[in-house]
Structure formats: C-alpha cells, structure tokens
Amino acid sequence: MRKLTLIALLSVAVCSASAMATDIRVTYAGSMGKVMDESLGPAFAKMSNGSYQGQGQGAYGMARLLASKKITADVFISITPGPMQILKQAGLIDSAVPVASTSMAIAYSPKGPYAQQFATAAKKNDGSWLEVLATPGLKFGRTDPVNDPKGQNIVFSLLLAEKYYGKPGAADRIMGGVQNPAQTHLEGGLLARLESGQVDAAAGYESEVISAHLPYIALPDEINLSNPAQAKKWYDTVSFTLKDSKGEKKTLHTQPLVYYAAVLKNAPHGEKAGQAFVDFMLSKAGQALYQQNGYAAPKGGALYR
C-alpha cells in the first residue's frame, strides 16, 4: 500500500513538473554550435525547467530535411534568408525574425609562418591583407560555395575587397577558381585544419572566430557583408556563377549575414514552446549571451511580414 502511494505521489510530481517545464528542440546553422549548445540552450532549459535539444548542420541541408519532414523541430535558425525560403515554400513557417548578425572575417593561424605578416596587415586599413593572402604557397582554407552560404560569402567578400581597395585580380589570385579543391573543405574539415594549424588562414564568421579565440582580420562594412543598408547600392555590384544540379549556370548575389529564427508549424513541443525560445533569444539575457559569443545585434526587419 505504501509503495502504491509513493508511486502515485511520484507520478503526480513528475506530471506537474512536466506541465510547467518547456522542452525544446532547436535546429540551427552549423556555425552556431557553440552559442546554441553551450550558452543559449542550457540557459533556456534552466529558465524553463525543461530540456534542450540542439542539432546543427549546413543550413540548407537542415532546411531541406525539415521541409521534407524527415526531422522535426520547434525552432529553426538560419544564416541569411536563403535557407528560410525553403521552409516558407514548404508552408512550415509564417515569418522569420532576425535574432543576431555577424560579419565575414579572415582568421589566421597564430603559429603559422605568416602569422606576423597577418598581424601587421590587421593593424593597417589599406587592404594589405589581400597581398598576404595571395602569397604563393600560403595555405588558405574556405568552405565549399556549392553547398555552404559561408563558402559563397567569402567569394563575395574577396570580390568586394579587390574593388574597394582597387586591386583588380586579387580575388582570383587568392582563390584560384571559385571551387578550387586545394582550399575548399567541408565545414568540419576546415575547422579541423584551422585548429590543428594545417592552414595559414581561413574564411570565417567573426562570431565563430571570436568563439574559437583565433586571431583575425576584421573587415570594413563595405566588405564584411553585415550591413543590410549596403546591400542594394554596393554589395549587389558583385556576383559570380556556379553550376546547379542540372549543370546549368546560376548567378549568385549576396545575402545579409543576419541570423533569422522561425517557429515551425509542426513543432513537436507546440508553437508556444517554440515562440518562448525565440522570445528568449530576443530578450536582454539572450542578446547578452549572443554578444558574449562574438555575435552582433540583429539587423534589418523580419522576413515575409
């Protein structure tokens, strides 16, 4: 009898606890792993007394898995509006709000043979880092423009940089082709190379470079793709082409480096739970955590509103 009472009491306790708690499952652009899984996720779980599950991957792949309902999540956070568009077309979201932003940066290996030259170039504001990057034999790493927004963004940044500093041809000298196998890697591979000092420099978002405690060259707004106000009159002056899955050429344009969050209509823990997480990200506490991890404040307006 005593046992039964205990079980009854326990189950009541568990039920009421789970009624108050908010569990959450968040999917996000792969580069956000640190801020989501180590800062925002645990902080939200603690606040709402629930559990947090985070899953990060290339933003486009994640969006497609969500759109085809192969995985479910309460919230999706993408970098640039591109991946969000896939969910919008699938009818899974109504709108998406900006929650943070970042900018392109060039991280360099602090122990590599070019560290000193990069450090000197970082102090000047004359684009001399372009010359350092173009040094023959220097190992530059970036992600693949074919499947990764960051891989596309570094191409735009280099094209803008050669225009801005008046050094025509510099972008091509550095990249050696848009998809040069010698320097394009998958996200994880590039990270492994950068952290183990196997590349001299790598393209990255300022947020992740700061999170990883790497030295980097900060780029002006005209090059770093962070400022939506520069989009029309300046960023859009550059573009490049890639082959799509049918082998046809498609022309790519820049998209602002803003992180957008959306609550999914098929949220397994309910849209209310999803909205609570988005609200938390926009709260003072949430924004402070973003800032601590090297992210900048959200820029521009909501999507599809």
Partner 1 sequence: MIKRSPSSALWLSLPALALLAVPFLTLIAVTRWRHFHLAWGDGNAIAISTGLGIISLLLIVITGLPVAWWLSQARGKARTAVEILVLIPLLTPPLAMGILLVSAWGPYGPAGSLLARMGVELVNNPAAFVLAQWYGALPYFITAARSAFAAVPVAILEAGRTLGASPWQRFRRLSLPLAAPGLASAVALAWVRAIGEFGIVMIFAYFPQGIPVKLYNNLQNDGVDAVYVLLWWLLLFTLPLPLACFAFVRRYARERQPRRIRSGVM
Binding site for partner 1 (CB under 8 A): 58, 60-61, 64-65, 67-68, 70, 112, 139, 144, 146-148, 181-182, 184-186, 188-189, 192-193, 196-198, 243-247
In this complex, which beta carbon is closest to partner 1, that of residue 126 or of residue 248? Answer: 248
Q: CB 89 → partner 1: shortest distance, Å? A: 11
Q: CB 67 → partner 1: shortest distance, Å? A: 7
In this complex, which beta carbon is closest to partner 1, that of residue 169 or of residue 247? Answer: 247
Q: CB 254 → partner 1: shortest distance, Å? A: 19
Q: CB 75 → partner 1: shortest distance, Å? A: 21
Q: CB 148 → partner 1: shortest distance, Å? A: 8
In this complex, which beta carbon is closest to partner 1, that of residue 83 or of residue 98? Answer: 83
In this complex, which beta carbon is closest to partner 1, that of residue 3 or of residue 111? Answer: 111
Q: CB 25 → partner 1: shortest distance, Å? A: 20
CA neighbor of 287 nearest in space, from 101, 94, 69, 28: 101
Q: How does strand 52-57 pair with strand 240-243?
A: unpaired
In this complex, which beta carbon is closest to partner 1, that of residue 81 or of residue 112? Answer: 112
In this complex, which beta carbon is closest to partner 1, that of residue 98 or of residue 145? Answer: 145
Q: Which residues pair with 143 in a beta bridge?
A: 185
Q: CB 62 → partner 1: shortest distance, Å? A: 9
| C-alpha to C-alpha distance for 177 and 174, rounded to whole angstroms | 9
In this complex, which beta carbon is closest to partner 1, that of residue 244 or of residue 279? Answer: 244
Please, what is the end-to-end C-alpha distance for the chain in angstroms? 59
Q: CB 131 → partner 1: shortest distance, Å? A: 21
| C-alpha to C-alpha distance for 117 and 131, rounded to whole angstroms | 10
In this complex, which beta carbon is closest to partner 1, that of residue 13 or of residue 182? Answer: 182
